[in-house]
Amino acid sequence: MDNTEKTVWKGSALTGPVPPALVVCGTAERPNVLTVAWTGIVNSHPPMTYVSVRPERYSYALIDGTGEFTVNLPTSSMARETDICGTLTGAKTDKIKKCGFTLSPGTRTGVPVIAECPLSLECRVSQKLDLGSHTMFIAEILAVQVASRLIDSKGKLNLQQAGLLAFSHGEYFALGRKCGNIGFSTK
């Protein structure tokens, strides 16, 4: 078999790697956390992201009710906790307590962030799209909280030093080495 030969499968949700984001929802008094792999950036100006959640999930009503959530990117050392938050329901388990997470207040939303995550996005829902199995909550990113240790003396973010966790087709991975910067191929 040569390196260009491909097998064709029926259409499916098969991309990767993606960030297994820890999404905090609810309120500061009654927060919940869930893991989603269906997230990403959808716009630059204004900065916008999305999370897709099944309507039958406990967290769906929390996001729909407040219109706010935070997206927290875990490190590879947080793989166990990330998996717990994606397999247990907040209706029966206090996942924040079970995982030992420290919550810090949001600066622009009423939803806290996970202090152990090196990057947290504070988001307010601007649009909701029912897509079938999932509903996509499209949200404006109102604030970004970044671990100070990842900002160099020139104010540049060095996210590659965070040791972020990745998810691909049911498996967790530690992100590897840097391969280049945007535009390096044409300089």
Q: Where are the domains of the chain?
A: 21-174
What's the residue count for the chain? 187
**Dihedral of alpha carbons 83, 99, 93, 40, sign:** negative
Name every residue whose Cβ is closer than 8 Å to that of residue 102 and which is 6 or more positions away in sequence. Answer: 114, 115, 116
Note down pLDDT in tens along the chain; length 187 residues: 678 998 888 887 777 788 999 999 999 999 999 999 999 999 999 999 999 999 999 999 999 999 999 999 999 999 999 999 999 999 999 999 999 999 999 999 999 999 999 999 999 999 999 999 999 999 999 999 999 999 999 999 998 899 999 998 888 999 877 788 888 888 8
The whole-angstrom separation of Cα 103 and Cα 117 is 10
* DSSP type of residue 5: -
The DSSP H or E segment spanning 182 is: none
Specify the CATH number for 21-174; select among 3.10.105.10, 3.40.50.2300, 2.30.110.10, 1.10.3720.10.
2.30.110.10
Backbone angles phi, psi at 65, to 5 degrees: -75, -40
Copy the structure tokens of residue 128: 């909701």
